[in-house]
């Protein structure tokens, strides 16, 4: 359960979106990928999940080369994109069953697909809403559906792109608690532009601005320093 990014760069035409990015994440760590809007976070997420190729560099998920074997890597990655397209006319269980088919999750010796869906529903706290159609759910519960879909195949690495965007304060607290719980047995990397999110949830913080990684530090090592002041200093250039 690990992520290793080495010297990744990406250009869009003449604009350098990512500039020589390197970092790693170990087993059962929660990493906050922090930066202003347009800093390059979503581009890095797409590269990590094999949906976009960098111009330079290498990415390994559990020692699988994502650039050479993206489909193999995706089997052990759970991904929640920033704009997660849910089929809102489906019921929750119906949608998760559909996702299981897409992911080619089959009945195993120990756990049926139906049982795995129920495990994920319970894990993300959807039991009381699972009988509803997705469009009937609040934004917070819709995010839970997206996270449930992302963990259906029991990935070892979870990548969440702005998972708390648009949530109200109560929903924020609930989704943060869920991310902490998932981080107990998975490597979790999630992007955000909200400082309090990183302080509340993460073991380590990465700060990116204009495609350049400016900070890679343990939260514990920041004690006595304000993350807000560090963020302002590093992103004001």
Which of 61-70, 187-196, 200-209, 225-234 is the least confident region?
A: 225-234
In DSSP notation, 42-99 reads: HHHHHHHTTSS--SEEEEEETTEETTT-HHHHHTTEEEE-SS----TTSBHHHHHHHH
What is the pLDDT, as a whole number, of residue 36?
A: 83
> Residue 33 burial by CB count (10 A; 0-12/13-18/19+): exposed, middle or buried?
buried
Taking only the tens place, the pLDDT of each residue in 95-129 is 999 998 887 776 654 568 888 999 999 988 899 99
What is the pLDDT, as a whole number, of residue 237?
A: 58
Q: Which fold has domain 1-76+162-237?
A: Rossmann fold (3.40.50)
Domain ranges of the chain: 1-76+162-237, 84-154
Q: Residue 60 pLDDT more than 90?
A: yes
Taking only the tens place, the pLDDT of each residue in 120-163 is 999 888 999 999 999 999 988 998 999 999 999 889 999 998 88
Taking only the tens place, the pLDDT of each residue in 191-205 is 888 888 888 899 999
Taking only the tens place, the pLDDT of each residue in 33-54 is 988 888 888 899 899 999 999 9
What is the pLDDT, as a whole number, of residue 172?
A: 84
Work out the angle between the directed axes of helices 113-123 and 92-102 (0-180°, nearest 10): 120
Rounded Cα distance between 237 and 232, Å, is 9
Please provide residue 156's backbone torsions phi and psi, each rounded to the nearest 5 degrees.
-90, -20
Is-above-0.85 flag for pTM?
yes
What is the pLDDT, as a whole number, of residue 230?
A: 75
Rounded Cα distance between 17 and 40, Å, is 6
Rounded Cα distance between 59 and 47, Å, is 8
Give CA separation, 73 vs 4, 21, 193, in Å. 12, 20, 27
What is the pLDDT, as a whole number, of residue 205?
A: 92
What is the pLDDT, as a whole number, of residue 22?
A: 96
Tokens standing for 177?
């608690």
């Amino acid at each position: 359960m690990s992520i290793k990014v080495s010297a990744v760069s990406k250009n869009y035409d003449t604009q350098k979106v990512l500039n020589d990015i390197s970092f790693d994440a170990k087993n059962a760590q929660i990493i906050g990928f922090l930066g202003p809007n347009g800093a390059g976070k979503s581009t890095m997420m797409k590269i990590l999940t094999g949906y976009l190729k960098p111009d330079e560099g290498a990415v390994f998920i559990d020692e699988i080369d994502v650039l050479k074997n993206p489909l193999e890597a995706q089997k052990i990655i759970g991904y929640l994109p920033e704009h997660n397209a849910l089929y809102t006319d489906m019921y929750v269980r119906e949608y998760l069953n559909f996702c299981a088919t897409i992911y080619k999750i089959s009945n195993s010796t120990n756990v049926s697909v139906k049982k795995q869906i129920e495990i994920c529903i319970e894990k993300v706290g959807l039991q009381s809403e699972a009988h509803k159609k997705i469009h009937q759910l609040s934004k917070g519960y819709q995010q839970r559906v997206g996270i449930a879909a992302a963990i259906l195949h029991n990935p070892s690495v979870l990548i969440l792109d702005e998972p708390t965007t648009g949530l109200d304060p109560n929903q924020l607290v609930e989704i943060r608690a869920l991310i902490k719980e998932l981080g107990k047995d998975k490597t979790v990397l999630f992007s955000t532009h909200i400082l309090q999110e990183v302080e509340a949830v993460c073991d380590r913080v990465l700060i990116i601005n204009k495609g350049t990684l400016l900070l890679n530090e343990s939260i514990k090592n920041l004690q006595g320093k304000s993350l807000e002041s560090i963020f302002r200093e590093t992103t004001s250039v």
